[in-house]
Amino acid sequence: MNETDRILVFIPAYRCAAQIARVLKQFNDPEIYRLFEEILVVDNVSPDSTAQAAIDCARAMGIGKISIVRNKKNYGLGGSHKSAFTYAIRNGFTHVMVLHGDDQGDVKDIVRVLKNGQHRQYDCCLGARFHQDSQVSGYSKIRTSGNLVYNSLFSLGTGRKIYDLGSGLNLYKTSSLESYYWLKFHDNLMFNYCMILAHVQRLEKILFFPISWREDDQISNVKLFSQARTTLGILWLYVKDRRRFLSHEFRELPIQTYDFETLASRL
């Protein structure tokens, strides 16, 4: 790390009232929170007390870097990414780090990447649950096998080794996001699948790094079988006409702006 890095931590949260405090407490160590300029919790209009739980925890921690915001409407996971990406671009952050608010990932896995400066050599650093050095617990054999099959299909379709289509621990160089190529991508969970294909199509430098990942008391928003066809459709669209992939409108209901309201700032 050096003083020119201004890294925004983006924590997307939906129905994470039971987990969000555990996620924020990962940043309690000064050796960790000093690496980041701001920690932004984006509540996607959760029906539970996710936002208040985040505010209460941030106040108790008192590190002066945690902000909690709420999307103007439920934009989906992809839409929350778009809110955070836009915020990062407009406010001069050099990188956006994504850590899901359901406490499946460990920030320490990416701290190693940051401390040795690897992040400056790549357009994106993507946590890979199925990397040979990763540790994953709580996943069923069916879910693991399904992910490995899709990783293989995307690797075949792109011509590059893909270790994960989208975990909840990633880092993006903001300068690589400034063209807003991602704006037309899906607003739901399919956003990450579009992103991985875009990274390849844009000839970006990608680092897949090993992570520790667990599934304990999380509320899953993934409908594996219903999304399988859509996932294959995205890959087929890329393989069929990759030159037009980045200009394709994936959203069913295009949104002009992905806005949020600030609930608490720099707690």
- Order of strands, sheet of 124-128, starting from the edge strand that comes earlier in the sequence: 206-210, 124-128, 169-173, 95-99, 7-13, 38-43, 66-71, 260-264
Report which of 77, 42, 44 is spatially closest to residue 186, judged by C-alpha positions.
Answer: 77
Residue 3 confidence (pLDDT)? 58
Check: CB of residue 123 under 8 Å from CB of residue 198: no
The answer to whether the beta carbons of residues 174 and 6 sit under 8 Å apart is no
pLDDT score, position 218: 42
What is the model's pLDDT at position 226? 66
**Which residue type is seen at 205?**
K
Q: What is the pLDDT of residue 165?
A: 93
Task: Give the model's pLDDT for residue 145.
Answer: 83
pLDDT score of 220:
52
Which strand (E) or helix (H) includes residue 227?
helix 224-240
Q: Which residues contact 49 (CB under 8 A, 6 or more apart)?
A: 17
* Interval 60-79: pLDDT, tens: 999 999 999 999 999 999 99
pLDDT score of 142: 79
Q: What is the pLDDT of residue 233?
A: 94
Residue 26 in tokens: 């990962």
Reduced to 3 states, what is the DSSP secondary structure of residue 113?
helix
- CA 228 – CA 34 distance, rounded (Å): 40
pLDDT for the residue numbered 2: 53
Cβ–Cβ under 8 Å, residues 36 and 8: yes
**Which run of H or E residues covers position 87?**
helix 76-90
* CATH for 7-252, options being 3.40.50.1820, 3.90.550.10, 3.40.640.10, 1.10.357.10: 3.90.550.10
Which residues are 212's β-sheet partners? 135
Low-confidence ranges of the chain (pLDDT < 50): 1, 217-218, 221
